[in-house]
Amino acid sequence: MVTLKFTLTPEASASIHGALLCLARFSDTVSLEAKDDSLTFSALNLSKSAHAAVALDTPFFSAYEFEAEGGHLDSRFTCCMSNKALLSVFKSRNNDAKSSNITERCEVSFQEDDDEAKCRMIARNICSNGVIKTFRLTYESAEIMQALFDRDLAENKWAIRAGFLKENLAYFSQKVEQLDIFYEEGKMTFLSFTAKVVSAKNGVLPVNNHRISLLTNAEILKMPLKTTVILNGGDFEKLSVQEQLHIVVSVKDFRAVVLHAESIDTVLHAYYTSPGRPLQFAYNKGSMNCQFTLTTAGEYRGTTIQPAPVGAATRHRSESERASKPPPSRAKVMPPPPAPSGRRNTKTLGKRRPSAPDRSAETSRDNQDEPLFVPMENDDRNWDPPSYDNAEESLGWDASEETESLFSRQIREQEARAAAAATKRKEEVPETGPDESQEASISLSPTQRLSDIPRLW
Amino acid sequence: MRFKANIQNIITFTRFTASLSSLGPFAWVRLDENDIRFTVIPEQGTQVWSVLQIDSVFESYLIESAADNVINLEVPLQGLHRALKSAVNATAASIRLTKRDGLPMLCLTINTTSVGNIAMQTADDSFAAMMDTEDGERGMNIDFTNNARERETIITQDIPIRVLSSNSVDGLHEPRTREPDVNIELPSLMQLKAISDRFTRLALVSKASASSVSGATSVGPRLELSANMHGCLRIRIDTDAMNINSTWTGLTNPRLDPSAIEGGEAALQNHPTEIMRQQGDAKGDSEEGWAKVFIDGRDWSKVMSVGRVGGRVIACFCNDHALILYVYMNTGNDDGSDRSVLTYYISSYSN
């Protein structure tokens, strides 16, 4: 019988929410792995080229209880579930000043009912004023993939404040795909480029001298910008990298990593050996340890011969280990349910289905307080041609729509009432004489539909 | 073929490219020893022909080519604008023509110093030093001078371009129009844009409700723009449902320079603008003396985007024929003699 229960402070919930947002950039589903001393959220992307894991050590939780089936020491509990569903559980609503329901803590427990086919995670957000919001999410037990990576064997390492990287990330064009990272003459270079370009006539083409003639002129000009950001070695916290070693990762993944690392204000570490072997980005904040293992491409472009690997035998072993990405993962048979704590209480108030976060407030139009004619602020965007396509702007005044609909509803109600009356009378017709039915028709309301009238005769 | 320059007025250049990119995706850029010309000729709508004085955006300008030191390029405006935008906080920026993997590129090199980046360890140290001793300056001196030198970041943006042969641009000529009937200096473009955008919206909405009855029509909303030689400008929409107009009065009608006109002072007397000056009045009440054009509301809005570069705008109305706008850029370092000008050619629709 497996017991997995933990309690989170609002800050910890928010941290998990942030981490889940980051994992969502890799995959829609998130895998959970519980151990004695940690709980890990992880995501593997569809092409299995990137594995992201966020491990939370027990100090992260206000309370953490895990008891494996049969009480084995190194046993684990694994499952996977929808990232979106989890996000709504941990979404903090405490920033909303209007809300009086401040979440005080979040209690999560896992249960599997043998009788039912559903595995459930039950999260209770205990708020002020005695409000309890209960989320019941289904999960499925699953084998989870793990990326093995031995940092000690990585020859190239660097570390930099994530905030600094994020500043520079803004320079990369949105459309670029690849990021080449290399070290040269005391400077670290991040080069974003596009390896393929879509041609209307010839489909997807790799960008190189020979194929470029197949592109039309307009297609050449539409290629995304190639951006290079060169950082001084001194900007790094730690830098020990082989010169001229080009390592290429996906910009999308890199962006996801940097944005999350920046959001928790930490130092980002990178570990890698050589192109073609995995690269790992890692950072931690308190009891949260994040690891992103990415496949790489690239080449060594130095003039000198690549230094012979030290200890080839051991290296070989470790490489094969690292190269095979999805190694030991065992499916755990889901154990019987742990009795969720305080289950009775959930019936009192907070028995609500997890609802999608209310986004209407966020998406409210930002030009609500727009002056009548001339925009006040000196914003450069004011000069852009407006998009006339949105149907928001309409003639008339705001109230009109509402009164109109109210009016039409009244009409419809009257019609319905009249129709009901008509059918009622129609039913009565056989019982009463024809004279009386004629009398009834006289008393019909003037909103009677013409189509209803013939039925009366 | 060589082209290299330092960009000295990044904000101006960025705004300039933003204005152009609202008209079309690509620009023909002609670089020579005297000036830089950006021309946008979209498939439909307004053309813009602009001349930038070299020193209004560049310094240490170097150009060399086999064709009399003239270089013709086709440049994606979005890309150029994006690249320039990453240079807004730059301490220095330069641009040069180069080749990468066989492809011609405009390479923008940007030096920037990052404000936020003090290596964490040293920041903590200096903080500790400040806390430990009252003499915080000592700690600051050591760490910050050291970091200031190292914090510089270099960014390069490669913009894919096409080099045009002189043959391919020989056929491009600036439009020729007849002498204008009215010259007038436009009011604040922010005002004009806001009102014409509002009018265009109204026209679109009234049309949408009308077309639901009578079937859709393909023409865009038409704005009627007119001006007289007594400082009046009027903008109007006239649809089945409504007729709205806004009139500005008290604007300036710049005088023509006799030396710029064939025939000099004598010819000036017979110039269409002088004839128009004899009609109309300063309040704009009279129906006489107006030169008017019909323009596409959406297209006009794209033109109005040029307001971001600032500066004086002179509109020349050729009645029922065309509207030409001369936008004199505020480059900050002009002394009034040689200025950078954007010329917009907007043709009038018949109504």
Each residue of B33-88: pLDDT tens digit? 989 999 999 988 899 999 998 888 898 999 998 888 999 999 999 999 999 998 88
Residue predicted with more confidence, A43 or A203: A43
What part of B 89-148 touches A (C-beta under 8 Å)?
Answer: 100-103, 105, 114, 116-117, 119-121, 147
DSSP A140: B
Q: Tell if the CB–CB gap between A374 and B190 is shorter than 8 Å.
A: yes
Q: What is the pLDDT of residue B335?
A: 55
Q: Are strands A119-127 and A132-139 parallel, antiparallel or unpaired?
A: antiparallel
In whole angstroms, what is the distance from residue B279 CA to residue B157 CA? 55
B150 CA to chain A: closest CA distance, Å?
Answer: 6
SS3 content of chain A, % helix, strand, coil (to 5): 30, 30, 40
In whole angstroms, what is the distance from residue A311 CA to residue A314 CA? 6
The yes-or-no answer to whether A3-146+329-347 and A151-306+314-323 have a common fold is yes
Q: Cα-atom radius of gyration of chain B, to the nearest Å?
A: 26
CB A235 within 8 Å of CB A181: no
Q: What is the pLDDT of residue B205?
A: 79
In whole angstroms, what is the distance from residue A426 CA to residue A343 CA? 56
Q: Tell if the CB–CB gap between B154 and A229 is shorter than 8 Å.
A: yes
In whole angstroms, what is the distance from residue A40 CA to residue B95 CA? 48
- Token pair, residue A67, equals 């008891």
Tell the residue number behind the tokens 């038409």, with chain if given. Answer: B222
Q: Tell if the CB–CB gap between B157 and A237 is shorter than 8 Å.
A: no
The whole-number average pLDDT for the span A172-186 is 87
Collect contacts of A353-358 with beta carbons under 8 A, ≥24 apart.
A353/A135, A353/A136, A354/A85, A354/A88, A354/A89, A354/A135, A354/A136, A354/A137, A355/A88, A356/A88, A357/A87, A357/A88, A357/A91
In whole angstroms, what is the distance from residue B261 CA to residue B180 CA? 12
In tens, the pLDDT along A281-297 reads: 999 998 999 999 999 88
In tens, the pLDDT along B330-342 reads: 766 555 545 789 9
Least confident of A420-429, B107-116, B195-204, B256-265: A420-429
Least confident of A233-247, A402-416, B173-187: A402-416
Q: What are the CA-CA distances from residue A230 to residues A172, A243, B151 (Å)?
A: 13, 14, 11
Q: What is the pLDDT of residue B113?
A: 80
Nearest residue to A27 (alpha-carbon basis) of A96, A81, A63 = A81
Nearest residue to A219 (alpha-carbon basis) of B165, B160, B40 = B160
Least confident of A236-240, A320-324, A441-445, B6-10: A320-324
Q: What is the pLDDT of residue A303?
A: 53
pLDDT at A318 > cutoff 70: no
Q: Are strands A226-232 and A187-193 parallel, antiparallel or unpaired?
A: antiparallel
> Which residues of B are less than 8 Å from A234 in CB distance?
119, 147, 149-151
CB A205 within 8 Å of CB A129: no
- Token pair, residue B200, equals 């265009």
Per cent of chain B over pLDDT 90 is 43
What part of B 146-165 touches A (C-beta under 8 Å)?
Answer: 147, 149-162
In tens, the pLDDT along A68-89 reads: 776 566 678 888 899 999 998 8
CATH of A3-146+329-347, one of 3.40.50.10860, 3.30.43.10, 3.70.10.10, 3.40.190.10: 3.70.10.10
Least confident of A244-248, A393-397, B305-309: A393-397
Is residue A80 helix, strand or coil?
A: strand
pLDDT at A345 > cutoff 50: no
> Which residues of A are less than 8 Å from B119 in CB distance?
161, 234-237
In whole angstroms, what is the distance from residue A284 CA to residue A267 CA? 8
> Which residues of A are less than 8 Å from B22 in CB distance?
384-385
Q: What are the CA-CA distances from residue B172 to residues A101, B28, B41, B327 (Å)?
A: 68, 10, 9, 21
Q: What is the pLDDT of residue A73?
A: 62
Q: Tell if the CB–CB gap between A163 and B200 is shorter than 8 Å.
A: no
B96 CA to chain A: closest CA distance, Å?
Answer: 14
Interface predicted TM-score of the whole assembly (ipTM), two decimals: 0.73
pLDDT at B262 > cutoff 70: yes
Q: Where are the beta strands (DSSP E) in chain B?
A: 2-7, 26-31, 35-40, 47-53, 58-64, 71-76, 90-100, 103-113, 152-160, 162-164, 182-185, 222-227, 233-238, 243-248, 291-296, 313-318, 322-328, 341-347
In whole angstroms, what is the distance from residue B85 CA to residue B93 CA? 11
In whole angstroms, what is the distance from residue A32 CA to residue A272 CA? 26
Over chain B, what is the mean pLDDT? 82
Least confident of A112-116, B138-142, B277-281: B138-142
The whole-number average pLDDT for the span B170-174 is 87
CB B308 within 8 Å of CB B85: no
The whole-number average pLDDT for the span A123-150 is 85
In whole angstroms, what is the distance from residue A356 CA to residue A351 CA? 15
Q: Where are the domains of chain A?
A: 3-146+329-347, 151-306+314-323, 405-456
In whole angstroms, what is the distance from residue B167 CA to residue B70 CA? 12
pLDDT at B281 > cutoff 80: yes
pLDDT band with cut points at 50, 70 and 90 for residue A116: low
pLDDT at B156 > cutoff 60: yes
Q: What is the pLDDT of residue A336?
A: 34
Question: Could you tell me how far CA A72 lies from the centroid of its own chain?
Answer: 34
In tens, the pLDDT along B181-192 reads: 999 999 999 999
Contacts of B26 (CB under 8 A, 6+ apart): A218, A221, B40, B74, B75, B76, B77
Q: Is B69 left (phi over 0), alpha (psi -120 to 50) or beta?
A: left
The answer to whether B15 faces chain A, any CB pair under 8 Å, is yes
In whole angstroms, what is the distance from residue A292 CA to residue A260 CA? 11
* Amino acid symbol at A354: P
The whole-number average pLDDT for the span B149-178 is 85
In whole angstroms, what is the distance from residue B308 CA to residue B329 CA? 10
In whole angstroms, what is the distance from residue B37 CA to residue A417 CA? 74
pLDDT band with cut points at 50, 70 and 90 for residue B329: confident
Nearest residue to B223 (alpha-carbon basis) of B208, B241, B203 = B203
Highest mean pLDDT among A387-401, A404-418, A428-442, B195-209: B195-209
In tens, the pLDDT along B210-245 reads: 655 544 445 678 899 999 999 999 999 988 878 899
In tens, the pLDDT along A4-14 reads: 899 999 889 99
**The CATH fold of domain A151-306+314-323:** Proliferating Cell Nuclear Antigen (3.70.10)
Highest mean pLDDT among A348-352, A373-377, B265-269: B265-269
Question: In order of start, what are the domains of chain B with their CATH numbers?
Answer: 2-113+153-170 (3.70.10.10), 120-147 (no CATH), 182-347 (3.10.150.10)
Q: Tell if the CB–CB gap between B153 and A236 is shorter than 8 Å.
A: no
pLDDT band with cut points at 50, 70 and 90 for residue A324: very low
In tens, the pLDDT along B107-142 reads: 999 998 865 444 444 444 444 444 444 443 444 444
B81 to chain A: closest CA residue: A225
